[in-house]
């Protein structure tokens, strides 16, 4: 029988159970993906990466006070896409990126942010790997865009991207925006210890302008879930660039230096 809950008086126990199971499973997948992303075969999980994990997981966990059937699924798909970019052979990576783009496009618009994250890594990377990340970004945005446009054109429902112009959600908009900005800055300051400099994070935010403009015009700033995709993308960008930087330093060492460092 329906539960007497003000939010949805017609909701049943099965309705709430479906939310619990879906969000719980997606949180588990996201947690596992984070651990794999931050783990190194040679170094394990460093103290710095432990701090990155704790900060990211705290933001992800705090965002769950807004319960939806799509947010946690969208985050899990983003993290799985980030894990897939380094898969070998390369066709597996492209297949996984394409699948994530389509499934993410069916889930939530934040999947768009995967492409700016890939392009940011490509901008600050070098050589063939940089070009591969740029190409993956193009493939992802093409499939995501096609899926998203098809949904808008052929599926019944309101065509509007947002329900209306909320400009942050009323009287709490300014303090909530300040709190979100401080949290983003804290994350960027922490992530920049993995790869020095704020420039990659700023470039990513510039490439993500369509998402940011939509959030500013129609988002409710007290919903922490609005910045979770940005935090996940910043984490991916800085850990990926940090891995490349360490690999480059290792290759530049002489055999004697490499032997000393491994003793």
The answer to whether the beta carbons of residues 80 and 96 sit under 8 Å apart is yes
Which whole number is the average pLDDT over 211-215?
A: 88
* pLDDT, position 111: 93
Banded pLDDT at 196 (limits 50, 70, 90): confident
- Give the pLDDT band (50/70/90) at residue 184: very high
Mean pLDDT for all residues in the chain: 85
On whether residue 189 sits in a domain, the answer given is yes
DSSP for 201-244, written as a single string: HHHHHHHTHHHHHHHHHH-BTT-GGGTHHHHHHHHHHHHHHHHH
Percent of the chain predicted with pLDDT > 90: 51
**1 falls within a domain:** no
Structural domain contains residue 214: yes
| Residue 226 falls inside a structural domain | yes
Nearest residue to 53 via CA among 242, 239, 244, 180: 239
Q: Is residue 263 part of a domain?
A: no
- Please, are residues 145 and 167 in contact by the beta-carbon 8 Å criterion? no
| Total domains, the chain | 1
Determine the pLDDT at residue 217.
84
Per the domain annotation, does 84 fall within a domain? yes
Residue 185's domain comprises 14-246
The answer to whether residue 6 is domain-embedded is: no
Instruction: Say if 111 falls within a structural domain.
Output: yes
229-256: average pLDDT: 81
Q: What is the pLDDT of residue 263?
A: 36
């Amino acid at each position: 029988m329906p539960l007497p809950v003000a939010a949805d008086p017609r909701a049943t126990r099965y309705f709430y159970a479906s939310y619990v199971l879906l969000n719980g499973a997606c949180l588990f997948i996201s947690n596992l993906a984070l651990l794999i992303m931050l783990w190194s075969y040679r170094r394990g999980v460093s103290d710095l990466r432990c701090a990155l994990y704790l900060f990211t997981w705290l933001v992800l966990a705090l965002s769950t006070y807004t319960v939806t059937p799509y947010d946690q699924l969208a985050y899990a798909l983003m993290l799985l896409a980030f894990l897939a970019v380094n898969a070998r052979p390369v066709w597996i990576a492209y297949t996984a990126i394409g699948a994530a783009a389509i499934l993410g496009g069916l889930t939530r618009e934040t999947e768009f942010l995967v492409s700016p994250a890939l392009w940011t890594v490509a901008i600050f990377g070098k050589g063939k790997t940089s070009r591969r990340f740029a190409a993956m970004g193009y493939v992802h945005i093409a499939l995501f865009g096609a899926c998203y446009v098809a949904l808008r054109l052929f599926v019944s429902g309101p065509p509007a991207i947002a329900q209306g112009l909320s400009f942050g959600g009323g009287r709490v908009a300014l303090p909530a925006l300040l709190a979100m900005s401080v949290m983003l800055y804290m994350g960027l300051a922490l992530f920049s210890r993995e790869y020095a400099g704020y420039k990659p994070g700023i470039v990513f935010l510039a490439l993500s302008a369509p998402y940011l403009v939509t959030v500013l015009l129609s988002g409710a700033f007290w919903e922490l879930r609005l910045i979770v995709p940005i935090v996940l993308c910043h984490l991916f960008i800085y850990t990926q660039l940090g891995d490349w930087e360490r690999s480059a330093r290792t290759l530049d060492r002489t055999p004697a230096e490499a032997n000393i460092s491994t003793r």
